[in-house]
Structure 1
Amino acid sequence: MNKRVLAAAAVLGSVALTAACGGGTTAPKPTGQGALAGVCPSTIVIQTDWFATPERAAAYRLVGPNGTVDVKKGAYSGPLGDTGVNVEVRLGGPFLGGQPVPAQMYQDNSITLGLVPTDEQVRAKAKFPLTGVFASLNKNPQIVMWDPATYTVNSWKDIAATGAPILYSEGKIYMDYLIANGYVKKEQADASYDGTPSRFVAEHGRVMQQAYVSNEPYRWERDVKGWQKLTGHLLVADAGYESYPHAWSVRSGELDKLRPCLQKLVPMLQQSEIDYVTNPDVTNAALLRIAQTILDGPPITAGGNAASVPTQLKEKIVANGTGSTLGGFDLDRVDRAIAQVTPLLRAKGQQVPDNLAAADLVTNEFIDPAKGLKQQG
């Protein structure tokens, strides 16, 4: 991107996010005139992978605090400030009907962007090729969590020695990585995790489980009846797993068509993440309202939302990547992630194209290098 376009995109991102996300007044309806009108789809549809949580807040912040909640569809929508377009953020999980985001994106052409981890991009490449244009999270918040009164664990090398069952969601590639590298024994992996604390509590901490560092430890220690005591955890990323957790991706065949839109939109996405972690309260309130309207998701509380951002910053879940820029991809890291998961997927009979490289999965073309967190702890 040349400097003039880059500068224009930066200004547009700042203006749009101020209108869309600041204050509590009702956002104006799109007029068909604005920075994105006629350039982007009239409704930018963002397909997330789970319920409305702080790790996905950048998408919801685009809509602002006064969006419309569609319970049946599982969506939150409204104008993107005065840009002339709408944004519709779709929840994942059960609203995906049991299929991953890449497959959903090819089934429903109205989706503009989907939140897809690098490992899923690799798995989907042969049938559902996607190109990541923005990485909202720099580090994977995925953890394995345990009861420190039951197990003494100081590093990943200690997990296998415990022999404890580890509850996780079936199909998660990180577990194959942990097993392949000796951090977890194959017989420990239990793909029956249902997203609730029920078994962890019922077995008095004798099982371990998957979680997000920015979510479950706070909830388990404060809100989960029958527990409400300390937990221990290790980040999967600290075991060397390189996958980006949320690559905001488009269908690869539509990259050229969407290029004029992405040149203006992606800097707005960067700004949305920056603004969220800088001032999360308004968006956190919107996340809480969504959770109270769309039921049956994980418990979302005001306290849990408030605690999430400090944890994300402390653990570098949200952080600048290369240099002082937030949202770009480290291409060497993506290459390492491809190398990590390719043999694991092929061992399960899944097709991965030969000579797959970072340039086949992601691009930094639309990233504004001037947009980043001002202070890094």
Structure 2
Amino acid sequence: MKRRIAVVTASGFAAALALTACGGGGEPEDAGTSGPVGEQAEAGGPLDLSDVCPATVVMQQDWQPESEHGAMYHLVGEDYEIDSDAKSVTGSLVVDGTDTGVDVEVRPGGSSVGFQPVSALMYLDTDILVGAVNTDGAIAAHAEHPTVAVTSQMTVSPQMLMWDPETYPDATTIEEAAAGGAPVVTAGELIGGLLVSQGIIQPDQRDSSYEGTPQRFVSDPSILQQGFATSEPYVYENEITEWGRPIAYQLLAEVGYAIYPEPIVVREADVTEQADCLAKLVPILQQAQIDFLADPDATNALIVELVEAYQTGWTYSPEVAEFSVQAQQELGLVTDDPASGVFGQIDPDRMAEIVETFAPILVDAGTIPDAEIDPESLYTNEFIDTSISIGD
């Protein structure tokens, strides 16, 4: 069983250029619940997308279906159809019981698209209107496949480093667990580079060989390993029988991994070309994340159904889906933007800090040629509905 991994490498982007976008797959093999999908949106109203958006709004995720992507899947109406060959789900785009007049198609990433980065996919297949791209990934792809974030979904990254609390019983932080020189195993050079730049680990502790499987951690509990606080704590204790006990961890956001995790992005040109659509769609996406966390059961059931239908080797149980929602809320991963109090708004100062921190690391890793990237080119708050807030 592989867990998802986050990696930004030059070779990964080069490989993406040589591949074509996934598509096709024939007729849908599975259908969701049939029946009415809700009242029709008022013509010309804020929920009527029929006159401004494509007939099918295609959304591209960066990994297999999981609750961290709940906002997108929350918009899929009950009339959905699953194409298990093409690995996609399509249904009416429904907002709180209102049919917006268009369909939504959500596509997974990872092995379903040959592990191509979402930024590259969006330029290879222009049917994709919006995608989910980590800010560090957007910086890495900026020269060849520039994308612009239009709203955040999670506010804080769920990525973490984990360790065995029995091996390091006194450790409460990454720095304490790594103090003895243990290998820090990550996917790619970015996180290791960040930790070295922060003085938390030594250069010779970096190990970029993580492949998303639990075998090494289980067999060598002296290492620190990358993971996600929304899944691994539950999975290791309850679903990996060779481990079967708690892990300890610290969020990487607490040691400088300040990226926006999987914000919704568009191609650079579409900020203008799809402006009328985005003016209505972005507030819908802002609210969808809030609505999903408030009432996740039906969407989580769809996510688990999709994982089973796609048969990619990715496993995702209802219990992990439930744990993810709980973790997103209890760890404060989904909050209003601290600077503005608006949910989904991008903070200019934070974006500038992200570029200042990660562009040099990506240069050192050979991923980008130079660090001269304008932070303002990576986002826009033009379409944000400033009245949308999680509140207290």
TM-score with structure 1 length normalisation?
0.87
1:215-267: CA deviations, max 9, x gaps?
A: 11011111211111110001110002221011211110121111000000011
Tell me the distance in 2 between the aligned counterparts of 1:277 and 1:194: 30
Q: In structure 2, how many angstroms separate the alpha carbons of the residues matched to 1:32 and 1:327? A: 23
One-letter amino acid of the counterpart of residue 154, structure 1: T
Give the drift of 1:274: 0.5
Contact 2:130-2:265 at 8 Å conserved across structures: yes
Q: Which moved more, 1:330-339 or 1:122-131?
A: 122-131
Partner SS, residue 85 of structure 1: strand
Aligned mates of 1:162, 1:69 — CA distance in 2: 49
2:105 to 84, 88, 91: 88
Residue number among 350, 365, 373 corresponding to 2:382 in the alignment: 365
Question: Does 2:220 correspond to 1:220?
Answer: no
Q: What does the per-residue CA deviation read over 1:180-202, in whole Å, with 9 as the maximum and x for residues that have no partner? A: 22223333333232222222223
Partner in structure 1 of residue 179 of structure 2 = 161
- Counterparts of 1:123 and 1:207 in 2: how far apart (Å)? 28
- 1:277 equivalent to 2:286? Answer no
Mapped contact 2:78–2:91 kept (Cα < 8 A): no
Q: CA separation of 1:30/1:80 partners in 2, compared to 1, >3 Å: closer, same or farther?
A: farther
Contact 1:140 1:236 in 2 (8 A): yes
- Equivalent pair of 2:148/2:265 in contact (CA under 8 Å): yes
Matched, 1:70 2:83: yes
Query: 2:53 maps to what in 1?
Result: 40
Superposed CA deviations along residues 155-205 of structure 1, whole A, max 9, x for unmatched, are 23224323222332235x2332112222233333332322222222233x2
Match of 2:28 in 1: none
Percent same amino acid at aligned positions?
34
Distance 1:69 1:206, change over 3 A: farther
Distance, in Å, in 2 between the alignment partners of 1:328 and 1:83 is 23
Alignment correspondent of 1:111:
128
1:92 Cα shift? 0.6
Amino acid in the other structure paired with 1:325: V
Change (3 A) 1:32 1:135: closer
* Cα deviation code 1:317-338 (max 9, x no counterpart): 1111134321111110000000
* Residue identity in the other structure for 1:371: I
DSSP-derived class of the 1:80 partner: strand
Cα deviation, 1:62-89, whole Å, max 9, x if unaligned, reads 1145522222222121110221111111
Give 1:177's aligned residue.
194
> Kindly tell me: are residues 354 and 198 of structure 1, through their superposed partners in 2, closer, same or farther at Cα, counting changes over 3 Å?
closer
1:238 maps to 2:251: no
- The CA deviation at 1:342 is 1.3
- Unpaired runs of 5+ residues, structure 2, are 1-32
Secondary structure, counterpart of 2:100 in structure 1: coil
Matching residue's letter, 1:217: P
Q: Does residue 158 of structure 2 align to residue 141 of structure 1?
A: yes
Matched residue pairs, number? 350
Per mean C-alpha deviation after superposition, the further-off stretch among 59-68 and 79-88 is 59-68
SS at match of 2:115: coil
Is the partner of 2:274 in helix, strand or coil? helix
Q: Does 1:195 align with 2:204?
A: no
| CA–CA distance in structure 2, aligned partners of residues 103 and 80 of structure 1 | 25
Aligned CA RMSD, in angstroms, stands at: 2.2
Give TM-score scaled by structure 2 length.
Answer: 0.84
Higher helix share: 1
- C-alpha distance in 2, partners of 1:65/1:300? 21
Describe the shift of the 1:349–1:222 C-alpha distance in structure 2 as closer, same or farther (beyond 3 A): closer
Contact 1:169/1:193 (8 A) holds in 2: yes
Q: Cα distance, 1:33 vs. partner?
A: 9.4
Choose from 289, 295, 310 the match for 2:311. 295
- 8 Å Cα contact 2:161-2:174 kept in structure 1: no
The 8 Å contact of residues 363 and 370 in structure 2, kept in 1 or not, is answered as: no
